[in-house]
Structure 1
């Protein structure tokens, strides 16, 4: 009963999904399915009359010397028409299925991607959740349509069986039970192994994702140079082979068991068919059935057994597809943090950015990444975060930009909690460059335009942002200027140096000319000293009157900040301006002296 309820629930969800994708194609599939299910019985009935008409004509010829041809020809023409109509319905099924596959794949992928935009960054960083997302995306274009087609195929088989039953009942109702009983063992086997197959593929999603990652390391231009230099390829290839060998062994074991049992249990169906075959043959010899009826019954036995086997196999396949759809709907129903914020202005405009006893712990971790953080960044002021790797600097930025929500304390902008701000209004006030910024395989102008999608195609804004980010000079030297395709993924693409990419990313942050909060995470890590000096000269001009937050391991970059926070294991260890921290002689002074020695 649980499986029946499961089938019913998933079938309703699949029907709703397909109905919302294309009502016309769905209705067309239903019509073609009904017709394709009813026509084979009609063809078998006509076939019986052809044989009987031929036998009657032969008898008439032996008795009278002439044979009437029209009774034979009219049934031949009728069968030709029925089979032509059946072929048309099968072609209609194929065409509509192909069209619906494309539309449904797009629909499901859009649902998955739209849902992904509602999820938090923490959920994307959860490996278990990410594995589920990979599994769902992998089968998004095939599983929903597969469930629908198997459901319609089941309906078609039931219509066939119902129409066959009308004809077979004249021979014996027990024949139907015999054919069904012969097909049941195969159904039980298929249902069992379909569940095993789904659980197997679900369990090994992390290994499949690891294989995909190895493929990217061995085939993408951004990775291949380091892999070649380090001679890492043989080790990666061996790991890829080992993973494949292990997965193949599981597939092989499942396949052999599934098909082995399928063959053995299929013998029951074969025995049932030939039992019915012998039954009707004997009745024909005894004169209880005509030759035409025997021909029809044999055709109905064969097609009926095939319809029963196909229907039962479809049911087992429905279970596997239903498991996928249940995962899809669980994902789409995954709870997201409600967008409760509606404010576009703070309670105290001009108050700036505040953290009050802020703490954050990553899911699954017992050690807080940040704890007891208090700070105030006023308009026009600059704040720098320094500390060793893992001290919590980037986590702090993700909290301030509301990519993460604090576990304790609160973060205020203009006197209002970040959670109470409208998300779009909040993001428009922030210009940010992350250390791991994206190198978009897009033209130069669009690489800049993503910084403010409202000005995505505004060339005037591109040029202004590129000038502020010190990128204009090298962009204008490119063959096609702002129309130059960047990266090597697409034809005509041009690769940039690391420093040039960093200037592109910095310019991208300047696209948000209305942003009054500038967040820079290692903005000059790939730049030489001259370029760094140029960038910060532009930065100081652009940052006037704005709140600026800077992370950098280069102390020459942070020494001019109004306030410097030294983080250590998620806590504020020291705070003050450069001179005050040097006079303190603590961690900051020690790190500054270590770096300064390299320039002496």
Structure 2
């Protein structure tokens, strides 16, 4: 059985979905700001440091290589017999690069620590929001299967998706800063190098965005089966229900249904995973080919004398790191698109209108008359 071709999630165009990314990013950032302002400012600072310093380290690396070559040539030509004097500037640059690398490592550790702490705080905050909303719903709304599916979807993803979206947003900013720094260095070599970077990364980005949408539509469509599987697992493993299950001999029937649902869901996951990874590998080869084409280009220019050995080292490092930063940026955008789709479940549930209470009496006309049920009826709401 395949998912229906049309749904609320799939009716929107891909372009509107990408615009929705930034809408939910702002709301997720607002949640983080409300949770811990100091940690959010710390994330911003560590992101800035981790974004700028890699390009500075590459530039210092070029100066080190060129300084070593110059010192070797001067020493071999006997124009500078004092080796210690000639290598002192190079050793100074090595020390500077070591400090830069240390700051990069410190920024990355700071990002990891703050993300770990925010994961717990933000997960708790969002779960409390879900539970508070559940307390405001009426009993009839809890009996609505569609609303209960919304609640199930929100609870499954809500504790992780907001922070994931915030992390990807800061990761995108970090890689954008790095790309800007790398672009300043690469454009000195050739503006065409920037085009090669983009051409190598775009196919994987398009593939990831497409399969992220497919994964969300599959997740949304099969919410009833997932809820049934959770229910069967609960019935077969709880003390208050297993007595009746054993009494009526239902273990085999319920376990068979549980296995059948898993088999169906796993088959769908397997098809999507194999398609996603196969296309990702094939399109990723394009990025590898573009990198080695640029590699050969830089080597040829160095042999021809247009570049120094230090410049060759810097451009190769910058191109490789720039390709990784661009791929990470596009992957982050694709992941933000996926997180945006899942966060729509959370806000769709939180924005569900609340039914007003209709009863007002606290006692009957004759309080001592006991309980009477007269003209009582029940009906399920009709759904087209």
Per the normalisation by structure 2, the TM-score is 0.89
Residue 112 in structure 1 maps to residue 126 in structure 2: no
Structure 2 residue 33 is matched with structure 1 residue 19: yes
Match status 1:217 vs 2:205? no
The unaligned stretches of length 5 or more in structure 2 are: 1-14
Pair 1:378 & 2:350 matched: no
Shift of 1:229: 3.9
CA drift at 1:264 = 1.2
Offset, 1:339 = 6.7
| Structure 2 residue 201 is the aligned partner of structure 1 residue 183 | yes
**Aligned ranges for residues 506-545 of structure 1 at < 5 Å?**
none
Please state how far the C-alpha of 1:162 moved relative to its aligned partner.
0.2
How far does the alpha carbon of each residue in 1:500-528 deviate from its partner, in whole angstroms, 9 at most, with x for none? xxxxxxxxxxxxxxxxxxxxxxxxxxxxx
Aligned residues: 363
Q: CA deviation at 1:315?
A: 0.7
- Contact kept, 8 Å, 1:211 with 1:243, in 2: the verdict is yes
Corresponding position of 1:289: 307
> Hey, what's the Cα distance between the residues in 1 that align with 2:249 and 2:355?
45
Q: Quick one: structure 1 residues 231 and 339, their matched pair in 2 at CA, closer, same or farther if it must change by over 3 Å?
A: closer
> CA separation in 2, counterparts of 1:41 and 1:217?
58
Is the counterpart of residue 100 in structure 1 residue 118 in structure 2? yes
| Per-residue Cα deviation, 1:231-250 (whole angstroms, up to 9, x for no partner) | 32232222222111111110
Which residue pairs with 2:181 in the alignment? 163
Which whole-Å deviations, capped at 9, do the CAs of 1:350-380 have from their partners, x for residues lacking one?
9x53xxxxxxxxxxxxxxxxxxxxxxx4122
Residues 110-144 of structure 1: CA distance to partner in whole angstroms, max 9, x if unpaired? 11111111111111101111011011001121100
Are 1:38 and 2:52 matched, yes or no?
yes
Partner Cα separation in structure 1 for residue 255 and residue 368 of structure 2: 54
8 Å CA contact retained: 1:108, 1:141: yes
Q: Which whole-Å CA distance do the structure 2 matches of 1:239 and 1:321 have between them?
A: 31
Alignment-derived partner of residue 12 in structure 2: none
The aligned residue for residue 9 of structure 2 is none
Other-structure match for 2:4: none
Rounded to whole Å, the distance in 1 between the matches of 2:237 and 2:320 is: 51
Task: Give distance in 2, aligned partners of 1:340 and 1:248.
Answer: 45
Query: What is the CA deviation profile of residues 533-575 of structure 1, one whole-angstrom value per residue up to 9, with x for unaligned ones?
Result: xxxxxxxxxxxxxxxxxxxxxxxxxxxxxxxxxxxxxxxxxxx
Pick from 42, 63, 70 the counterpart of residue 56 of structure 1. 70
* Superposition map of 1:345-384 within 5 A: 353=364, 377-384=365-372
Q: Tell me the equivalent position of 1:516.
A: none
Runs of 4+ in 1 over 4 A off after TM superposition: 338-341
Helix, strand or coil for the counterpart of 2:368? coil
Aligned partners of 2:236 and 2:376: how far apart in 1?
32
Q: Which has the higher helix share?
A: 2
Please state how far the C-alpha of 1:227 moved relative to its aligned partner.
2.7
In 2: Cα distance, 1:256 partner to 1:240 partner: 24
d(CA) in 2 for partners of 1:138 and 1:60? 67
| Displacement after TM superposition at 1:20 (Å) | 1.3
Q: Aligned residue for 1:530?
A: none
Q: Equivalent residue for 1:75?
A: 93
Residue 271 of structure 2 aligns to a residue whose secondary structure is: helix
Report the 3-state secondary structure (helix = DSSP H, G, I; strand = E; otherwise coil) of the residue aligned with 2:371. strand
The separation in 2 between residues aligned to 1:224 and 1:272, in whole angstroms, is 61
**8 Å contact kept, 1:60–1:66:** no
Which residue does the alignment assign to 1:267? 285
Partner-residue secondary structure (3-state), 1:242: helix
Note the C-alpha offset of 1:383: 3.0
| Alpha-carbon distance between aligned partners in 1 of 2:132 and 2:356, rounded to the nearest angstrom | 15
CA shift for structure 1 position 66: 4.2
- Point out the structure with max Rg over C-alpha: 1
Offset of residue 58 of structure 1: 1.3
TM-score by length of 1: 0.58
CA RMSD of aligned residues (A): 2.3
Specify which of 15, 21, 24 is matched with residue 10 of structure 1: 24
